[in-house]
Amino acid sequence: MLVSLGYGISIQNAGDNFLNQHLYTDEGYNYSLPEEIPTLSFKAAFITLFFLIPGFTIQLYILLKTTFKRLKILASGALICYVIIFSVDILTLINPIAYNFRDFGMIWVLLSLTTIFINGISIFVKK
C-alpha cells in the first residue's frame, strides 16, 4: 500500500503540475515529467510484486491450515483481493501506458487496505 501511495503521488504530481512547473523550478522542487508516468508505473508494479508474493503465500497458508470456518471465509476474501491486485499488477507490467497508477492506483490502495482490515479482524476471530 505504501509503495502504491508513494508512486501514486509522484504520478499524480507529474500529470497535474505541468501548468505551474515554472513555479516549482524557481523554488527548487523537482517533479517527474508527464512522459515519465509509464516508467514510474512500471517501477511501482515491479516493486509491489516483491510484497505481493509473500503476502499471497502467507494468506494461502492461513487458508489451508486453519480449522476455523470464519477464518477460512476471511482468508478467502483476502485472497480475492490479492488476485485482483495481482491482475492489475501484471497488466501494468505488460502495458504501463494503459494501466498507469494515475488511473488504477486507488484499486491497489483500497484492496491493500481491505486485506489489512481482513487480517486485523481475523486476529479476534474465535470458534
Q: What is the pLDDT of residue 82?
A: 92
**74 contact partners, CB below 8 Å, separation of at least 6:** 118, 119, 121, 122, 125
Spatial separation of the C-alpha atoms in residues 6 and 21, rounded to whole Å: 20
Q: What is the pLDDT of residue 48?
A: 86
Break the chain into its structural domains and give their ranges. Answer: 2-122
Q: Tell me: the pLDDT tens digits for 21-58?
A: 555 555 555 556 566 667 877 888 888 889 889 989 99
Q: What is the pLDDT of residue 60?
A: 92
Degrees, nearest 5: CA angle 85-117-111: 20
Q: Tell me: the pLDDT tens digits for 96-122?
A: 888 877 777 778 888 888 998 988 888
